[in-house]
Amino acid sequence: MNTGPYRRALRRWCVLFAIRVLGFLLLAAGPVFADEQKCPIARHVLWGDGMHDDTAALNAWFQGETVAWAETREPVGDAIDGRTFLLSNEILVPAGSGRSLTHFRMVWPHRPETVTGDALHTGADPDKAPAAANVNIVGGDPGEGVAFEAPDPDPRGATRRSNCLVS
Protein backbone atom coordinates (compact mmCIF):
# COMPACT_ATOMS: atom_id res chain seq x y z
CA MET A 1 0.00 0.00 0.00
CA ASN A 2 1.30 3.44 -0.96
CA THR A 3 1.09 5.91 2.00
CA GLY A 4 2.97 8.72 0.22
CA PRO A 5 -0.14 10.70 -0.83
CA TYR A 6 -1.56 10.48 2.71
CA ARG A 7 1.66 11.76 4.24
CA ARG A 8 1.87 14.64 1.76
CA ALA A 9 -1.78 15.58 2.39
CA LEU A 10 -1.30 15.34 6.16
CA ARG A 11 1.86 17.44 5.98
CA ARG A 12 0.09 20.07 3.81
CA TRP A 13 -2.88 20.15 6.22
CA CYS A 14 -0.52 20.58 9.23
CA VAL A 15 1.37 23.42 7.51
CA LEU A 16 -1.87 25.23 6.57
CA PHE A 17 -3.25 24.71 10.07
CA ALA A 18 -0.04 26.12 11.62
CA ILE A 19 -0.18 29.16 9.29
CA ARG A 20 -3.81 29.83 10.23
CA VAL A 21 -3.08 29.52 13.96
CA LEU A 22 -0.07 31.83 13.64
CA GLY A 23 -2.16 34.35 11.66
CA PHE A 24 -4.90 34.24 14.28
CA LEU A 25 -2.41 34.79 17.09
CA LEU A 26 -0.82 37.75 15.29
CA LEU A 27 -4.22 39.25 14.60
CA ALA A 28 -5.31 38.84 18.22
CA ALA A 29 -2.03 40.26 19.55
CA GLY A 30 -2.09 43.25 17.17
CA PRO A 31 -3.49 45.73 19.71
CA VAL A 32 -0.77 44.73 22.18
CA PHE A 33 1.87 45.90 19.74
CA ALA A 34 0.12 49.15 18.80
CA ASP A 35 2.12 52.31 19.47
CA GLU A 36 -0.83 54.32 20.73
CA GLN A 37 -4.03 53.23 22.41
CA LYS A 38 -7.17 54.81 20.94
CA CYS A 39 -9.49 54.81 23.95
CA PRO A 40 -12.23 57.35 24.60
CA ILE A 41 -10.85 60.25 26.61
CA ALA A 42 -14.05 61.55 28.12
CA ARG A 43 -17.26 60.52 29.83
CA HIS A 44 -19.27 62.73 27.47
CA VAL A 45 -19.30 63.02 23.71
CA LEU A 46 -20.54 66.06 21.82
CA TRP A 47 -22.14 65.89 18.38
CA GLY A 48 -22.91 69.51 17.55
CA ASP A 49 -24.87 68.40 14.49
CA GLY A 50 -28.38 69.41 15.57
CA MET A 51 -29.60 65.80 15.34
CA HIS A 52 -28.28 64.19 18.56
CA ASP A 53 -29.07 65.32 22.12
CA ASP A 54 -26.04 67.28 23.35
CA THR A 55 -27.47 68.48 26.69
CA ALA A 56 -25.27 66.48 29.08
CA ALA A 57 -22.10 66.90 27.02
CA LEU A 58 -22.55 70.66 26.50
CA ASN A 59 -23.24 71.22 30.20
CA ALA A 60 -20.14 69.17 31.08
CA TRP A 61 -18.06 71.15 28.58
CA PHE A 62 -19.24 74.48 30.02
CA GLN A 63 -18.35 73.16 33.50
CA GLY A 64 -14.76 72.66 32.30
CA GLU A 65 -14.83 68.87 31.91
CA THR A 66 -13.00 67.11 29.10
CA VAL A 67 -15.46 66.27 26.34
CA ALA A 68 -14.75 64.46 23.05
CA TRP A 69 -16.27 64.94 19.62
CA ALA A 70 -18.55 61.98 18.94
CA GLU A 71 -17.39 61.44 15.36
CA THR A 72 -13.62 61.65 15.87
CA ARG A 73 -13.12 61.01 19.63
CA GLU A 74 -10.75 64.01 19.60
CA PRO A 75 -10.95 66.42 22.57
CA VAL A 76 -13.31 69.35 21.99
CA GLY A 77 -10.90 71.92 23.45
CA ASP A 78 -11.75 75.32 24.93
CA ALA A 79 -13.48 76.78 21.84
CA ILE A 80 -16.34 75.64 19.61
CA ASP A 81 -17.31 77.45 16.42
CA GLY A 82 -20.20 77.08 13.99
CA ARG A 83 -22.18 74.25 15.59
CA THR A 84 -25.86 73.48 16.14
CA PHE A 85 -26.90 71.74 19.36
CA LEU A 86 -30.10 69.76 19.90
CA LEU A 87 -31.04 70.07 23.57
CA SER A 88 -33.62 68.52 25.88
CA ASN A 89 -32.99 70.49 29.08
CA GLU A 90 -31.43 73.72 30.32
CA ILE A 91 -27.82 74.67 29.66
CA LEU A 92 -25.95 76.31 32.52
CA VAL A 93 -23.03 78.53 31.54
CA PRO A 94 -20.86 79.16 34.61
CA ALA A 95 -18.29 81.94 34.67
CA GLY A 96 -14.61 81.13 34.91
CA SER A 97 -14.37 77.84 32.99
CA GLY A 98 -12.45 79.38 30.09
CA ARG A 99 -14.85 78.20 27.39
CA SER A 100 -15.76 80.04 24.19
CA LEU A 101 -18.73 79.27 21.95
CA THR A 102 -19.03 81.24 18.69
CA HIS A 103 -21.52 81.29 15.81
CA PHE A 104 -23.81 78.80 17.51
CA ARG A 105 -27.41 77.64 17.45
CA MET A 106 -29.16 75.82 20.32
CA VAL A 107 -32.51 74.18 19.63
CA TRP A 108 -35.03 72.82 22.15
CA PRO A 109 -37.65 71.24 19.85
CA HIS A 110 -40.05 70.22 22.64
CA ARG A 111 -40.48 73.82 23.96
CA PRO A 112 -40.08 75.13 21.02
CA GLU A 113 -37.14 77.45 21.63
CA THR A 114 -34.07 78.49 19.66
CA VAL A 115 -31.04 80.45 20.83
CA THR A 116 -28.54 81.80 18.33
CA GLY A 117 -25.48 83.90 18.95
CA ASP A 118 -22.22 85.25 17.66
CA ALA A 119 -20.26 84.64 20.85
CA LEU A 120 -20.51 83.35 24.39
CA HIS A 121 -17.33 83.49 26.51
CA THR A 122 -17.16 82.20 30.09
CA GLY A 123 -13.84 83.91 30.77
CA ALA A 124 -11.26 82.92 33.36
CA ASP A 125 -12.66 84.85 36.33
CA PRO A 126 -15.41 82.95 38.19
CA ASP A 127 -16.56 86.24 39.76
CA LYS A 128 -17.35 87.92 36.43
CA ALA A 129 -20.46 87.01 34.42
CA PRO A 130 -19.93 85.31 31.06
CA ALA A 131 -19.77 87.70 28.09
CA ALA A 132 -22.27 87.35 25.25
CA ALA A 133 -22.50 88.98 21.83
CA ASN A 134 -25.64 89.09 19.67
CA VAL A 135 -27.44 86.30 21.53
CA ASN A 136 -31.07 86.00 20.40
CA ILE A 137 -33.70 83.90 22.14
CA VAL A 138 -36.83 82.96 20.19
CA GLY A 139 -39.67 81.20 22.02
CA GLY A 140 -38.03 81.32 25.46
CA ASP A 141 -39.64 82.17 28.76
CA PRO A 142 -39.12 85.59 30.35
CA GLY A 143 -35.92 85.73 32.39
CA GLU A 144 -34.02 83.16 30.32
CA GLY A 145 -30.48 84.00 29.35
CA VAL A 146 -30.02 86.25 32.36
CA ALA A 147 -27.05 85.77 34.69
CA PHE A 148 -27.82 84.70 38.26
CA GLU A 149 -25.82 83.82 41.38
CA ALA A 150 -25.15 80.12 41.81
CA PRO A 151 -23.15 78.05 44.27
CA ASP A 152 -19.44 77.73 43.53
CA PRO A 153 -18.72 74.64 41.43
CA ASP A 154 -16.31 71.94 42.56
CA PRO A 155 -12.71 72.80 41.72
CA ARG A 156 -11.53 71.48 38.36
CA GLY A 157 -10.40 67.88 38.70
CA ALA A 158 -12.03 67.42 42.11
CA THR A 159 -13.55 64.02 42.66
CA ARG A 160 -16.90 63.85 44.34
CA ARG A 161 -17.78 60.60 46.02
CA SER A 162 -21.14 60.56 44.21
CA ASN A 163 -19.27 60.35 40.87
CA CYS A 164 -17.36 57.20 41.84
CA LEU A 165 -18.34 53.71 40.77
CA VAL A 166 -19.27 51.37 43.62
CA SER A 167 -19.32 47.61 43.49
- Which residues are 115's β-sheet partners? 106, 137
Q: How many CB atoms lie within 10 A of CB 98?
A: 14
73, 53 Cβ separation under 8 angstroms: no
pLDDT by residue, tens only, the chain of 167 residues: 566 777 777 788 777 777 887 777 767 666 555 555 555 457 899 999 999 999 999 999 999 999 999 999 999 999 999 999 999 999 999 999 999 999 999 999 998 899 999 999 999 999 898 999 999 999 887 777 766 666 665 665 554 444 444 43
Pick the closest to residue 135 from 154, 120, 153, 157 (CA basis). Answer: 120
Q: How far apart are CA 131 and CA 101, in angstroms?
A: 10
In 3D, which of 106, 129, 123, 119 has the Cα closest to residue 55? Answer: 106
